[in-house]
Amino acid sequence: MKSNKLFWDSYASDFDAIYGTKNSWFNYTINKLFRGSMKIRFEKTIRMIPEEKVSIIDIGCGPGHYCFSLAQNSEREILGIDFSEIMIKLASKHSEELGLENKLKFEVANILEFEPNRKFDYSIMMGFIEYFEHPELIIKRALAITNRTIIISFPVVGGFLAFQRKLRYKRRCFLQLYSQEDIRRLMELLNISSYAIEKIGRDFFVTINLN
Ligand SMILES: C[S@@+](CC[C@H](N)C(=O)[O-])C[C@H]1O[C@@H](n2cnc3c(N)ncnc32)[C@H](O)[C@@H]1O
């Protein structure tokens, strides 16, 4: 299996295409199968975060599409981090194309080593936690740097599409799918009591409230 970073570097351009910035067979196929669910979680995340001057960190921001949408017509202060330089290059390029470069910051950083000297009101981790064998370490990092709310998507285990996704990722990158029980156990392990789990499409949309 490739290292996760090598995998994401090589997958960056095709992943970006899911958001419709490039047409390819991959774009077409994946859009058809997955876009519904990705779109729901995307819109829900943007709606959840107030438009006033709150600070947000997008952990594993990829090519930056959540950040762009959050930045548009708002006072929000946004930082996107990703350990793939190629993803961050794509994000920076798109932000210039959209004229958002002064409203956003992007940084190459591995969340497991990231120690900012500040906290953020909101942390979002979309399409991210499933790539870690120890999700508790990732949530601990998010708890350490967040003031108000952490928003996480967890892909749902079971069903044909989940099985198909598992097959696609086999030997390419670690991938863990979740049941609602798995998420509850994870929260218990971390002593998190104030959280909500909502099933949206092929994801569980989890909100952890910290105040
Ligand atoms: C499926 S993409 C999701 C991108 C974005 N959140 C979205 O939904 O459009 C997962 C991203 O996580 C990044 N990533 C994986 N492990 C990481 C780590 N340890 N630290 C920072 N980023 C990481 C990958 O480079 C990739 O860009």
Q: What is the CATH number of the domain that holds 77?
A: 3.40.50.150
Which atom, in ligand 1's list, is nearest to the CA of 5? Answer: 25
Among the listed residues 45, 39, 48, 47, the one whose alpha carbon sits nearest the alpha carbon of residue 59: 45
Which atom, in ligand 1's list, is nearest to the CA of 38? Answer: 8
Which class for 44: exposed (0-12), middle (13-18), buried (19 or more C-beta within 10 A)? middle
Query: What is the pLDDT at residue 26?
Result: 44
Residue type, 26: F
Look at residue 2 and tell me whether its pLDDT is greater than 70.
Answer: no
Query: What is the pLDDT at residue 30?
Result: 47
Query: What is the pLDDT at residue 59?
Result: 98
Query: What is the pLDDT at residue 20?
Result: 67
Query: Phi and psi at residue 177, in whole multiples of 5°?
Result: -105, 155
In this structure, are strands 104-108 and 77-82 parallel, antiparallel, or unpaired? parallel
Pocket of ligand 1 (CB under 6 A): 4, 8, 15, 60-62, 65, 82-84, 87, 110-112, 126-128, 131
| The dihedral formed by the CA atoms of 88, 94, 96 and 100, expressed in degrees to the nearest 10 | -90
Q: What is the mean pLDDT of residues 9-23?
A: 75
Look at residue 1 and tell me whether its pLDDT is greater than 60.
Answer: no
Q: What's the domain count of the chain?
A: 1
Whose CA is closest to atom 26 on ligand 1?
62
Query: What is the pLDDT at residue 28?
Result: 55
Per-residue pLDDT band at 32 (split at 50, 70, 90): low
Our CA angle for 45, 204, 153, nearest 5°, is: 50
Among the listed residues 155, 161, 163, 211, the one whose alpha carbon sits nearest the alpha carbon of residue 183: 155
What is the residue range of 68's domain? 4-209
Q: What is the mean pLDDT of residues 153-171?
A: 78
Q: pLDDT tens digit string along 114-152?
A: 999 999 999 999 999 999 999 999 999 999 999 999 999
Residue with token string 């004229």: 99
Q: What is the mean pLDDT of residues 69-95?
A: 95
Beta bridge partners of 205: 153, 198
pTM of the model: 0.89
Q: What is the mean pLDDT of residues 175-180?
A: 95
